Structure 1
Amino acid sequence: MMDHMDASNLKHPTTDLVDRQSHKALLLGMVPITIRQAGEPAARRFIEFFTANIRNPNTRQAYARAVSHFFSWCEQRSIALYEVEPMLVASYIEQHPGSAPSKKQALAAIRMLFDWLVVGQVLPMNPASSVRGPKYVTKHGKTSVLEGDQARQLLDSLDTHSIAGLRDRALIGVMVYSFARVSAVVGMNVGDYYQNGKRWWFRFHEKGGKVHEVPAHSRAIEYLDAYLAAAGIGDQTHSPLFRAITRQRTIGTTRPHRTDVFQMIKRRVKRAGLPASTCCHTFRATGITVFLQNGGTVEKAQQIAGHESPRTTKLYDRTHDTIAFGEVERIVI
């Protein structure tokens, strides 16, 4: 039984003829038994779904985990691939232990995979296409948000006499002053911080291959310039902008993973005495909230954040929280 597929190993196949067979064998070992029993075309199509169809590594990992759990569930019940029907998919989603968003993501992964199998003529129809997921509508984001003075407290608490402190201040500064996702920030090269006319800009490579450019805030410029001067990498335009710190507490050559940034933030927040719920996404929500509190519009915040819909931007807006808290005190009994 395949309990869990290691999606981090689902890289794009090498073109090296020497390694091709061993690479194929490695990938086949990750294919669920239910798929393998359906024959080589099904197994090949399954591998192609992750290696050729899904470009974003985070999506690839999440979808691999979702379909792995689904086919493990099918295997436990001796259900063959060709026996999967809409009612069975609906039953799986119904008993799924996750939250409503997790169930919706699982259904999306299963539906996309079966679509891929249908297009590849492995199956005649998609058994998940008619299955409806749980209703989930939210008008208020759950991401932890810092007050403006709390964000300032965190930035001021960083030791700027060390390269680690300078890097962390610049990294957090870029996130909070540009509303950027952590994955987009750690994915920046030195050349993605560039001058256009009299202004400095950030270039972010977002999900789906989208490139998003934002003017750099003066504070973010200050933090980045100090970090680049100390790191001595300002002329290395095609190399990583933010780099991992070595065991010798010097600047390395590789990018930190977003989980490394998450752990760094947790350490920094704890030392600064700020809420333990603070995470990477906190700075995106904090920046948007402070921007709106100071007269910015949702439309402009949407443009800076690179959101497709203003409804997404509004999920990060906590400007009405204090109003709500004050209003309840009107209930005088």
Structure 2
Amino acid sequence: MSQVVIAGTLPASALVVSAGERASIRFLEFFASHIRNPNTRRAYGGAVAEFLLWCEAHGVPSISAVQPLHVAGYIEELTRARSAPTAKQRLAAIRMLFDWLVVGQIVPMNPAASVRGPSHSVKRGRTPVLDPQEARQILDAIDVSTPAGLRDRALIGLMVYSFARIGAALAMKVDDVFVQNRRLWVRLHEKGGKRHEMPCHHNLEVYLHAYLNGTGVAEDRRGPLFRTIGRGTRNLTRTPLPQANAFMMIRRRALAAGIHTAIGNHTFRATGITTYLKNGGTLEKAAAMANHSSTRTTQLYDRRADAITLDEVERVLI
């Protein structure tokens, strides 16, 4: 398969190239201009590349020759091999791309418009949630005598106490931690360019002060808040901490604390929301604190029903 690299990271297959220069430019513009969120761009880029590879393997000569049967066949195969949410996400990416190509007059119609994805309904999130004592155990087990320890405790504390997404936390600058009304606040840059400000829980305030003052990061107001550790130096660099590194860090911290739950970056956000609701918080306030546009999204993080289910299971007294 011949490939050219578009925008440094987005692969365009021979199907795009064979459709002509206008199609190649329009294809590039879809990712460079139409999709602004880098995480969405990465996910949709992978989805489109996978679909185009499938089309090439099935003899489709050009992106302009893609028909509804091709899309339907691909989604059918994908549904058998992968989960329903994965198939729906792939279909959404393909549909959005061809909408863009139709508007640009590259193709006459959207071949994915009439294709239905697999049925999938979610009422309970799949993110692993920790018991409050387990979260406390992880935080207390971190050795804060090192810059890495101060950073990790501050990052985990931020996700627990402010319900921050990992992407928003890692995108923070030092000056996104500020004083207002004699309390420390954090400014989170959420999806869609939305800015969300939250006062700090008293524990988070302690963690952030210790991190900022104990590492010298506070002096670099325009630099990234959470940074990588330099090889061989054990000191913070000026490079933002990547999301994959944060994931590996929390897995290491959990294992070191004796927590064997397979947690992820979103675990602390879900744990914070669930704990807040268990202690009398309202769903509406939780949605506002998590910057969710709908309480339906917040409900996916509400795992209070897990305890009820466990209590009922224990009624089987055999």
Which category describes the TM-score, using the shorter chain as reference length? over 0.9
- Seen in structure 2, the aligned counterparts of structure 1 residues 7 and 190 have a Cα distance that, compared at 3 Å, is farther
- 1: CA distance, partners of 2:193 / 2:5: 24
Q: Return the match for 1:208 from 168, 179, 192.
A: 192
Tell me how far apart the structure 2 counterparts of residues 66 and 194 of structure 1 sit (CA, whole Å).
Answer: 39
Superposed CA deviations along residues 185-204 of structure 1, whole A, max 9, x for unmatched, are: 11100111111222221111
Give identity over the alignment, percent. 52
Aligned pairs for 1:63-102 within 5 A: 63-79=44-60, 80-96=62-78, 97-102=81-86
Give the equivalent residue in structure 2 for 1:197: 181
Residue 236 of structure 1 is matched in structure 2 by 220
1:52 aligns with 2:36: no
Determine the structure 1 residue equivalent to 2:8. Answer: 9
SS of alignment partner, residue 254 of structure 1: strand
In the other structure, the counterpart of 1:23 is: none
State how far apart, in whole Å, the 2-side matches of 1:169 and 1:292 are.
23
Give the Å deviation of 1:279: 1.4
Tell me the residue number matched to 1:301. 286
Give the distance between the partners of 1:204 and 1:95, measured in 2 at CA: 40
Asked whether the 8 Å contact 1:155–1:169 carries over to 2, the reply is yes
Secondary structure (helix, strand or coil) at the match of 2:229 reads coil
- In 2, distance between residues paired with 1:8 and 1:293? 47
Aligned counterpart for 1:316 among listed residues 273, 298, 301: 301
2:133 match:
149
Partner of 2:311: 326
Deviations 1:264-291 (A, max 9, x none): 1111111111024011110001000110
Matched, 1:161 2:160: no
CA distance in 1, matches of 2:226, 2:63: 45
Tell me the distance in 2 between the aligned counterparts of 1:169 and 1:9.
35
Q: Distance in 1 between matches of 2:85 and 2:141?
A: 36
CA distance in 2, matches of 1:242, 1:135: 40
Flag structure 2 segments of 5+ consecutive residues without an equivalent: none
CA drift of 1:8 comes to 8.9
Q: How does 1:112-261 map to 2 (within 5 A)?
A: 112-247=96-231, 248-261=233-246
- Residues 82/60 of structure 1: CA separation in 2 closer, same or farther (3 Å cut): same
Total equivalences in the alignment = 314
Compared CA separation, residues 8 and 202, structure 1 to 2 (3 A) = farther
Counterpart Cα distance in 1 of 2:316 and 2:131: 26
Q: Runs of 4 or more off by more than 4 Å in structure 1?
A: 5-8
| Deviation (angstroms), 1:331 | 4.5
Q: CA RMSD in A?
A: 1.7
Name the TM-score, length of structure 2 as normaliser: 0.94
Deviation string for 1:87-137 (max 9, x for gaps)? 221111011122100000100110011011111111111111121111111
TM-superposed deviation, 1:236: 2.3
- Distance (Å, rounded) in 2 between the aligned partners of 1:181 and 1:171: 11
Q: CA deviation at 1:213?
A: 1.2
Question: Does structure 2 conserve the Cα–Cα contact (< 8 Å) formed by 1:202 and 1:216?
Answer: yes
